Amino acid sequence: MAEKRLQPPAHIGVIMDGNGRWAKKHFQPRSMGHRAGAQNFRTITRYASQIGVKVLTVYAFSTENWSRPTEEVGALMGLFKDYLREALRDFMDENIRVRFIGDVSAFSPDLRELIAEVEEASAPKTGMVLNLAMNYGGRAEIVRAARTFAEEVQAGRRSPGDLDEALFDRYLYTAGQPAPDLIIRPSGEQRVSNFLLWQCAYAEFVYFDILWPDFKTEDLDRAIAIYHSRQRRFGGV
């Protein structure tokens, strides 16, 4: 009898890490690792949508990744553009809604234009929401939310006493979305690296000793199985 597939949690986050080490292992420049990683991102995204994930958030570029060599940052920007052009051309028959979380104002005008086009073109989609975290930092997101709220207080639209967790949540990039249930980090590192700091309060973390370009659809199934084996208590008993 075929094994019954486990229902995936509603929101999965993935820290796509290990491209550089993958390249090194294959005696290639780091940019080739990013290329392989970007290719794998396409595969995993499609699979997540097929198995019924409602929200998939992938960490593609952090606010700290600007500190990498110019050449590497340039290669990443080129890959983002390739993907977004492809998304506009080919992906439109897929029912995935693409959203961007992070400060995209820091990107070049042509990349920003592609971001806006993809967001607009995929807005009517009703399937999985794909959050692309680009120039994203959890701390920056929280500071931005606090600043926006303060501006509303200053403008007389809100008072400080209005603020509670539910309202604060509405100032985040992920407003209206469920918090991540499961966060997967391949590559062997066991840290959060500024990903979804507010939202991950009760997420289950799964770390794998696999480099992102080698992460397979079966590994996603495996992470989901591990997730199901955990007992979430949310502070209760």
Chain positions contacting ligand IPE, by CB under 6 A: 15-21, 59-62, 65, 76, 187, 189, 191, 193
Phi, psi of 187 (to 5 degrees): 95, -20
**Candidate segments 10-18, 96-104, 134-142, 160-168, binder of Mg ion by CB under 5 A:** 10-18
CB of 114 to ligand IPE, least distance (A): 18
Please say which residue, 168 or 198, places its beta carbon nearer to ligand IPE: 198
Q: Where are the alpha helices (DSSP H) in 91-137?
A: 109-122
Please say which residue, 17 or 181, places its beta carbon nearer to Mg ion: 17
CB of 130 to Mg ion, least distance (A): 21
> Cβ(136)–Cβ(196) under 8 Å?
no
Of 123, 151, 131, the C-alpha closest to 199 is 131
d(CA 147, CA 190): 31
When asked if residue 17 is in the footprint of Mg ion (CB under 5 A), the reply is: yes
Q: Quick one: what does residue 14 bind among ligand IPE, Mg ion, none, with the CB cut-off 5 to 8 Å set by partner type?
A: none
Dig out the tokens for 32 from the structure.
């080739």
Residue the block writes with tokens 């290990």: 18
d(CA 59, CA 54): 17
d(CA 218, CA 206): 14
Dig out the tokens for 43 from the structure.
């595969």
17 catalytic residue (yes or no): yes
Catalytic residue, from 19, 40, 65, 131: name it.
65
When asked if residue 211 is in the footprint of Mg ion (CB under 5 A), the reply is: no
CB of 10 to Mg ion, least distance (A): 27
CB of 17 to Mg ion, least distance (A): 4
93 catalytic residue (yes or no): no
Dig out the tokens for 117 from the structure.
């086009």
Residues classed as catalytic: 17, 65
Q: Which residues contact Mg ion by CB under 5 A?
A: 17
